[in-house]
Structure 1
Amino acid sequence: MSDQSSTCFSSHKKLKFFAKIRRFMQPRSSEKQFKVSDQEPIKENESVILVKVVEEGGCGALQRSVKSLHFGNLEEKEVAAKDIIRVAREDLSRRKLMAELGVIPPLVAMVGSEVVTRRSLAVRALVELANGTYRNKALMVESGILSKLPENIGVLEEQTRHEFAQLVLSISSLHNSQVPINLSKIVPLVISILESDSTFETKQLCLGTLYNLSTMLNNAGTLVSNEVINNLLRFSSVKETSEKALATLGNLVVTLMGKKVLESNLLVPENLIEIMTWEDKPKSQEISVYILMILAHQSSVQRLKMAEAGIVHVLLQVSLLGTTLARKRALKLLQWFKDERQTRMGPHSGPQTRRLSIGSPTNHNEASEGKRLMKNMVRQSLYKNLETITRRANADEGSSKLKFLATSSSSKSLPY
């Protein structure tokens, strides 16, 4: 037998031994293990995996890393984590291979270390291992990574906050699998980072995490109860973060609890109406109108608040200058305001109004007064909007359609 064959055979035996040790040390849960639904192979034959390690020439580095993580001292564990970061960046197959060799549980344990450098190395290694594989992320949750998340981010350096934000965003992508995620561990960390002086990039990662979690309606109760709404409204008013924040609000507003919290928020509807004026952010316009539609539906109180905040003027502008989807939604809302006291609409098509009693002078007077006020409000908003359109039309030689609309003072020319 050649020296190379002997070395590989010896390495094969050692790696097989380490794998057995890993299985022995892995915590056994009395609960039923969850099923990972990422369409990855559940588990290759271990001997085949170990042979691959040898054939790919990784027996030396990988052997030392696995050995150090399981049996080494603290300094050796740090060196092993650095090796894993380097190897994990190479390709997906190596990341899956290292997870099979049991490197995730000891790395998760290192995340709980009070030594900053050791904790940072472990988090970076886990971020690399999670890249592109649901199985590795599920193994991290199974190994207790959520219980290792810091409760006080004030003592963390910015780089460490960023690394934790990356890791939590990666884990939150398990929202559509059967892996149970404890939101009570993730959401407080995310909110703390959003309210800290962390960098813009770090906060963007946290907004991505909230969006992933909001796609599951069962998570709405936890998200709303952790003051997520206030932070989302705040970041929705920043153009660079508006789309992700508004998309998350759009997921929450369709739930009863999320809608209730938004209705009582002091920033609503003014913030959302302001966003509707952002012509350079068409996606934000579309989502903002959508959220307002949900809030206005079957709620005369919310429609009154919107009218007092000047929504009709803005809706007229969007209905003429917005994207196709934004125009469609704006016209729908305008129709609701126009027919506020006239039309009884279906249960899923807009605001509901009570039928007036025929022959009742009081109800007749109320209806006439309401109709007159609504007509005046629409007319005044129309004039303001047409002035804006006229200025833009004069600056644009090809906008003859808008110039024609600007010459008309009749509300009958509106496209609704």
Structure 2
Amino acid sequence: MAPTAEEEEEPEIGGGTAAVEALLEVVAEVSALPEPRGPLRRMYCDLARRVKLLAPLFDELRDDADSLHPSELRGLESLCAAVVEARDVLRSVNEGSKLYQVLRPKRFEQIFLNATESIAKALDEISLDDLNISVEVKEQTELVHAQLHRAKESIESVDLQLYRDLNWALHEKNSDHTVLTRISEKLQLKNKTDIMKESVALHEMVISSDGEPDVSVEDMSSLLMKLKNCVLENSTSANIERKPSFAKHRSPLIPDDFRCPISLELMKDPVIVSTGQTYERSYIQKWLESGHKTCPKTQQPLTHSTLTPNFVLKSLIAQWCDANGIELPKKQGSFQDKKPGNSSDCNRAGITVLLQKLANGNQEEQRAAAGELRLLAKRNADNRICIAEAGAIPLLVQLLSSPDPRTQEHAVTALLNLSINEDNKGLIVKANALPKIVEVLESESMEARENAAAALFSLSVVDQNKVLIGEAGAIPALISLLCRGSPRGKKDAATALFNLCLYQGNKVIAVKSGIVVHLIRMLVDPSGGMVDEALAILAILASNQEGKIAIAQSEPIPLLVKLMKTGSARVRENAAALLFSLCNGNEHQMRAAKELGAEEALKELVETGTERAKRKAGSLLGLIRQTAEASDGGSAKL
């Protein structure tokens, strides 16, 4: 039964926990981003550092997240949205064109200031005094808050020399070698690999822009070509002795990046395949028409056969030919004609044809159409929107009951890929997909079961869906996959179960379905590689009284103490959290933990564990000492 409006105001369905876990996940993603190079490094590092400094706040809120007041929860949700915005800004800078970034400094300065202001405003909504956090974390968060407000007033100083150098290099046909060297140093475009990454970034910018970028792509490509020649000259000048008397008569050496990997000839119409490799269109088409389904250069499977024009590389090749007096490749159409946006109508028409085959085709046509939609939905966000708007979701849901296993697999995977879009999650649930996804979860195809589990996890990100998925009977089926699935299937099932069990009602279902015995077995046998996942789910279940009792009946104390001594940082953290839940209010369990040497492991965790492990270990040590003192007092009276 879906929760009422009143029930939705309470955090029972795990809203607080979901928000905190989402915040910690985003901070982890920011921490994993590589250190930036290039013109925006200072602004990038400032924003990334401030996001990472909020991690202790989220970590301390994790244990009490479901007890947060609705107003505090709303503040956390606003903060989550702001931190996601900051992560996306950092990613875009890391992956974007350095040339574009330095040519539009004010644009990116404003983007960083907007992200900073969003976090500051979200923190304004949260009263730190009302949260159950330590004094140290409160002070650190207040400091970050103050820094964010001060950052809104600051202006990043523009490197005027670099800006002048770039504008001069853009408009001079024969740029000074010293100027180009200075630009390549400041932009960290120092070698062939750097130049190729910049070329790819420019290409992606062209494809993703909804019209002409506000800086001429041809100008940037021309400048990149000059920088590439400068870099190559710098790298070879120390090792190669040039002989002018012969130079006039030698044909210019074609750069490797301009040659097709198949023909080894200069490319005229370069296109990109799904693995990211570039080939001459005619040669890769022949390869595909011969029945090959792999990338010739990397041997990786091709996820689709679409060929994307590499406009930037084509422009670079044309400029190189012009500079070296070589006849330009025959034009395949103007740059404007080739823009990706012009093919959107064709894509929509193609999707419509695929939907007709889903609705009215024979089994083979339905299988092929579902497979095509699966790949299209995987490729990009626009496809997911177009496919859903065309009405594909109800048709794919019907195919979940197909007698053909491959069709069933394609359909559930297509729904998984479509569910990445937040609006599509609601459409999938409204199409009554949940019971049918559970049916797929019990099918014979392991890949279909894996992707069904992943789809349920994706849909369960919406708190209300956690209730509906539990009511659809997914939890017993997920437990079955957890026990008897492939390695990947077990991981997918564990992830889905963890998320679903954030809702109290699902914890009861999971315990009654016998999940505890299976999880304990995974702890006993670490060879399955599921110790971390099993402990995380057990720690969630232990917050429920029925779950706590079921776990205690398995007598896990010796195992938990061992894991606290020998496990990874994450394993030790979850083992301490679970042990604390079992011992809190249970003197028998606490005495057993003490007798097995838990104090020694807990003291070590207080010194070397994660922040959450330190808190749990410290709290449990306090309980053990209080129990010992009370016992000693009772003995003295006797």
Specify the TM-score bucket, using the shorter chain as the normaliser: 0.5 to 0.7
- The amino acid that maps onto 1:246 is L
Counterpart in the other structure of 2:590:
303
Residue 112 of structure 1: CA displacement? 0.9
C-alpha spacing 1:177/1:355, structure 2 compared with 1 (3 Å): farther
Letter in 1 for 2:626: D
Give the deviation of 1:99 after TM superposition: 1.1
Matches within 5 A, 1:56-67: 56-67=345-356
Counterpart of 2:557 in structure 1 is 269
* One-letter amino acid of the structure 1 residue matched with residue 369 of structure 2: A
Residue aligning to 1:248: 537
Contact 2:442–2:449 under 8 Å retained in 1: no
Q: Does 1:159 align with 2:432?
A: no
One-letter code aligned to 2:505: N
Aligned counterparts, 1:329-368, within 5 A: 329-343=616-630, 356=634, 364-365=637-638
1:104 — aligned with what?
393
- Alignment: residue pair count: 301
Mapped contact 2:459–2:465 kept (Cα < 8 A): no
> What residue number does 1:278 align with?
566
* Kept in 1: contact 2:522–2:534 (CA 8 A): yes
Distance 1:53 1:99, change over 3 A: farther
Aligned-residue identity in percent: 23
Aligned pair partner of 2:469 in 181, 188, 201: 181
Contact 1:149 1:189 (C-alpha < 8 Å) held by counterparts: no
What TM-score does the superposition give when structure 2 sets the normalisation length? 0.43
Q: Which amino acid aligns with 1:122?
A: A
Q: Provide the rounded CA distance (Å) in 1 between the counterparts of 2:363 and 2:471.
A: 31
Distance apart, 1:210 and its partner CA: 0.8
Residues 311 and 71 (structure 1 numbering): CA distance in 2 closer, same or farther, change over 3 Å? Answer: same
CA displacement at 1:332 relative to structure 2: 3.3
Structure 1 counterpart of 2:637, which letter?
H
Query: Could you tell me which residue of structure 1 aligns to residue 402 of structure 2?
Result: 113
Distance 1:193 1:149 in 2: 13
CA distance in 2 between counterparts of 1:256 and 1:277 reads: 27
Amino acid at match of 2:585: Q
User: Within 2, Cα distance between the matches of 1:68 and 1:106?
Assistant: 10
Secondary structure at the counterpart of residue 491 of structure 2: helix
Could you list the runs of 5+ residues in structure 2 that have no partner in the other structure? 9-14, 16-76, 79-340
Partner of 1:124: 413
Give how far 1:321 is off: 4.5
SS of equivalent residue, structure 1 residue 58: helix
Q: Does 1:204 align with 2:471?
A: no
Q: Structure 1: how far apart are the matches of 2:538 and 2:563? A: 13
**In the alignment, which residue of structure 2 is the partner of 1:294?**
581
C-alpha separation in 2, matches of 1:324 and 1:98: 44
- 2:370–2:414 contact (8 Å) kept in structure 1: yes
Moved over 4 A (4+): 52-55, 150-155, 176-179, 353-356
Q: 1:123 to 1:242 in 2, by over 3 A?
A: same
My pick for the range that moved more, 250-259 or 318-327, is 318-327
State the shift of 1:208 in Å: 0.4
* Cα displacement (A) at 1:270: 1.8
Q: Report the CA distance shift for 1:275/1:73 in structure 2 as closer, same or farther (over 3 A).
A: same
**Alpha-carbon distance between aligned partners in 1 of 2:389 and 2:613, rounded to the nearest angstrom:** 49
Give the letter for the 1:335 counterpart: G
1:222 equivalent in alignment to 2:222: no
**Aligned partners of 1:106 and 1:155: how far apart in 2?**
19
For the residues of structure 1 that align with 2:342 and 2:406, how far apart are their CA atoms? Answer: 29
**Displacement of 1:120:** 1.7
Distance 1:354 1:181 in 2: 51
Change beyond 3 A, Cα 1:354–1:219 = farther
Decide whether the 8 Å contact of 1:61 with 1:83 is kept in 2.
no
Change (3 A) 1:213 1:242: same
Q: Does the Cα contact within 8 Å between 1:319 and 1:330 map onto a contact in 2?
A: yes
State the AA in 2 paired with 1:203: K
Residue of structure 1 aligned with 2:435, choices 147, 158, 163: 147
Give the Å deviation of 1:169. 2.5
Provide the TM-score with structure 1 as the length reference. 0.63
Whole-angstrom CA distance in 2 between matches of 1:53 and 1:81: 25
Q: 1:218 to 1:354 in 2, by over 3 A?
A: farther
Instruction: Report the Cα offset of residue 335 of structure 1.
Output: 3.2
Note if contact 1:141-1:181 (Cα within 8 Å) is conserved in structure 2: no
Task: Name the counterpart of 1:133.
Answer: 421
**Counterpart-to-counterpart distance in 2, 1:332 and 1:186:** 36
Please tell me whether the aligned partners of residues 440 and 448 of structure 2 are also in contact (alpha carbons under 8 angstroms): no
- Range with greater deviation from structure 2 (106-115 or 237-246): 237-246
Question: How far 1:355 moved relative to its partner?
Answer: 8.1
1:199 Cα offset (Å): 2.1
Cα distance in structure 2, aligned partners of 1:154 and 1:336: 45
1:214-250 per-residue CA deviation (whole Å, 9 max, x = no partner) reads 2222322112111222233333453843333322222
Q: Does the C-alpha gap of structure 1 residues 103 and 318 become closer, same or farther in structure 2, counting only changes over 3 Å? A: same
**What's the C-alpha RMSD, in Å, of the aligned pairs?**
3.4
Contiguous gaps of at least 5 residues in structure 1: 1-31, 40-51, 344-352, 357-361, 366-416
